[in-house]
Amino acid sequence: MLDSRLKFLTSRAEEGPAELVGLESTGRFALTTEGVRTPRVRVLLRLAEGHGADDLGELSRDMGLTVLTRAGDVVGGEIGIDRLTELDELEAVGYVEASRPTLPELDAAVPETKADKVHTGPPGLRGAGVIVGVVDSGIDWRHGCFRDPTGKSRILRIWDQNLTPEAGESSPAPFGHGVEYERSAIDSALSAPNPMSIVRHMDDSMGHGTHVAGIAAGDGSSAGNGKPAFTFVGIAPEADLVVVANRVTTEAMGDSMGTLEAVGYIFKVAETLGRPAVVNISQGDNLGPHDGSSLLERGIDNLLNAPGRALVKSAGNAANAGVHATGQVTEGGSDVVQFLVPVGDNSPDTLDIWYSGADRLSLRISTPNGTASAEVAPGSTIDGLDLPGGNKAFIDSVVHHSQNGDNRIYIQLSPGSQTAIRPGTWSLTLIGRAVADSGRWHAWMERGRTVPQFIGSHRNDETTISVPGTSRKVVTAASYITKGAGQGNLSTFSSRGPTRDGRHAPTLAAPGQAITSALVGASGASQYQPMSGTSMAAPHLTGVCALMLQSSPTLTQDNLVLLLTSSARLDPFTGGAPSDDWGAGKVDAAAAVDSVT
């Protein structure tokens, strides 16, 4: 089964290469159109039950699939768009999903988490011997907070997925793309007159990855911002780092296939070195079923089935962003949800609706002038639906999705013959053709620079945790305020649970608002800056996991979740636990480490 996004790309390919070049330029599709005979797309696929490694050779040889990563029954790679239909028909392939763009979740912390008590001891743990993996925009490897007391780098590897190898450089095996820099190269660059000639990688101007890495594992040894050394100390300041810079576009910071590659790479490096590792992902996306069954989540869960491996994900910053709506339809009845398209929205917009496999809902879409489309029946695909005003829609209504048995309605709005999607209030009418379950539906809006928002009574701030934060294994971090107005409260932006299948989420909360950490510096100066978001909360929990893994290197992800949640602290702000705002409460590093036996 091909996912709806791949069906859309297949249909666009039939209109000629110019159409795909335009889609690639939006940054919302993991496409390669330049320098290849046939446009290629990055995908994740699930092998059908009973099929395994022996089938990958056939897929590569016969289908032209370039296999880039594997996590159990989930495989990531690149394939020509013209081969997707054939790939889908193979017995060995259970499901194929387009790699989706991910975005950063950016919107007085060490004492607040009680990590300082762990540092000073007993037991005096600071993360030594543990690898902190960071999957993000990259890192300013010149910053002083990422060095050891001798001046050597604590960064063991950097894999920049954006670079192409030049003379003397290579890609990491077996991934075959990007450029890998080892610690020896970084150390050489640190003492060279032209360091960027040795290590070409650099974080982007926002410095999201540098900031995240500093929270998790910066040692604060560099003075900066008028403050003395060791003012801005991370949670695990003696941990070593492995950093993967995701593919950056105008719309996104990486994609789901690259993220799965990155996690597998970090665990492979750690395994080679005989070290435990915890990976931080402070990015995500809003599409998918939000029940842990997406292929990225399934792949991550597969990679976590070994001791000494952990992963923390930011919950997302969507609680007040209008990206989620929900409602209920009765048999024979209808439900209307509205969304507002801003002026200048010239990129494709995606809406993703999920509901029970026992129900059957049809759909009509209405433009801002009130004109409704024809009704789209359950199980049908409408390609190139012409809408009044010149815009177009691709609608794929799937019955019994192969990943979870539920139903999905995927909607892709595009400018069509116009330069932008018509601004104003649009409506979706969901009609109950058969309702054997609850008739409950959930809808999400893809994120981007110009994104519509749900409005009206169906807009809902719950069930807004971004993928892969709805995985069944990852630690998902909410954000709370540690200083200034609202101190002690949950951040208003922090995404809420539950998951669509009813599990409590997030896992627990950590400081995430106005957090000061390492600043990327154009001249290599070691300065610091404040940032806010669940992107900042996640590395606090990542650092705490590193301290716990130093205490007991064979802890499993399940062990860590249990110890973190059972040791979390409650106060008048959190209320009782578990909740779908705070999870188990506020992280307590000292109690979590003390609970490790």
pLDDT tens, position by position, 468-481:
999 999 999 999 99
pLDDT of residue 366: 95
Residue 315: closest CA among 178, 477, 190, 137: 477
List the Cα angle 52/285/3 in 5-degree steps. 45
pLDDT of residue 198: 97
pLDDT of residue 262: 97
Spatial CB neighbours of 174, under 8 Å, sequence gap ≥ 6 = none
Q: How confident is the model at residue 540 (pLDDT cuts 50, 70, 90)?
A: very high
pLDDT of residue 450: 62
The one-character DSSP state at 34 is: T
Question: Is residue 439 predicted with pLDDT exceeding 80?
Answer: yes
Spatial contact of 313 and 281, defined as CB atoms under 8 Å apart:
yes
Question: Is residue 497 predicted with pLDDT exceeding 60?
Answer: yes
Question: Is residue 107 predicted with pLDDT exceeding 60?
Answer: no
Residue 120: count of CB within 10 angstroms of its CB: 11
Q: How far is it, in rounded angstroms, from Cα 510 to Cα 91? A: 45
Residue 340: closest CA among 456, 480, 181, 475: 456
pLDDT of residue 461: 96
User: Which whole number is the average pLDDT over 319-348?
Assistant: 95
Q: How confident is the model at residue 490 (pLDDT cuts 50, 70, 90)?
A: very high
The 3-class secondary structure across 231-271, one letter per residue, is CCCCCCCCCEEEEEECCECCCCECEHHHHHHHHHHHHHHHH
User: Which whole number is the average pLDDT over 324-338?
Assistant: 98
**For the chain, which domains are there?**
4-99 (3.30.70.80), 129-319+467-594 (3.40.50.200), 324-455 (2.60.120.1290)
Strand bridging mode 179-182 / 155-160: antiparallel
pLDDT of residue 352: 97
User: Which whole number is the average pLDDT over 490-495?
Assistant: 96
> What pTM was computed for the model?
0.92
Q: How far is it, in rounded angstroms, from Cα 320 to Cα 206? A: 23
Q: How confident is the model at residue 382 (pLDDT cuts 50, 70, 90)?
A: very high
pLDDT of residue 52: 81
Question: Is residue 36 predicted with pLDDT exceeding 70?
Answer: no
pLDDT of residue 521: 82
Beta strands in 238-333 (DSSP E): 240-245, 277-281, 283-284, 309-314, 324-328
Q: How far is it, in rounded angstroms, from Cα 389 to Cα 370? A: 11
Stated as kind and residue range, the H or E segment containing 444 is strand 440-445
Q: How far is it, in rounded angstroms, from Cα 237 to Cα 119? A: 9
Residue 113: closest CA among 422, 508, 381, 407: 508
Q: How far is it, in rounded angstroms, from Cα 422 to Cα 328? A: 27
Question: Is residue 489 predicted with pLDDT exceeding 90?
Answer: yes
The residue type found at 450 is: T
Q: How confident is the model at residue 230 (pLDDT cuts 50, 70, 90)?
A: confident
Spatial contact of 520 and 210, defined as CB atoms under 8 Å apart:
yes
pLDDT digits (tens, 9 = 90+) for 231-288: 789 999 999 999 999 987 666 667 899 999 999 999 999 999 999 999 999 999 999 9
Spatial contact of 574 and 586, defined as CB atoms under 8 Å apart:
yes
Question: Is residue 38 predicted with pLDDT exceeding 80?
Answer: no
Lowest average pLDDT, out of 48-52, 84-88, 114-118, 436-440, goes to 114-118
Kindly state the tokens that stand for 38: 């046939």
List the Cα angle 161/266/539 in 5-degree steps. 95
Lowest average pLDDT, out of 22-36, 141-155, 295-309, 511-525, goes to 22-36
Q: How many CA atoms lie within 13 A of 435 on its CB side?
A: 17
pLDDT digits (tens, 9 = 90+) for 564-590: 999 999 999 999 999 999 999 999 999
Spatial CB neighbours of 430, under 8 Å, sequence gap ≥ 6 = 327, 329, 334, 335, 336, 337, 353, 361, 362, 363, 441
Q: How confident is the model at residue 522 (pLDDT cuts 50, 70, 90)?
A: low
Q: How far is it, in rounded angstroms, from Cα 348 to Cα 415? A: 7
pLDDT of residue 209: 94
Spatial CB neighbours of 191, under 8 Å, sequence gap ≥ 6 = none
pLDDT digits (tens, 9 = 90+) for 47-103: 998 888 778 887 888 888 888 899 999 999 999 888 898 898 888 999 999 998 887
Residue 57: count of CB within 10 angstroms of its CB: 10
Residues in a beta bridge with 392:
386, 414
Question: Is residue 105 predicted with pLDDT exceeding 80?
Answer: no
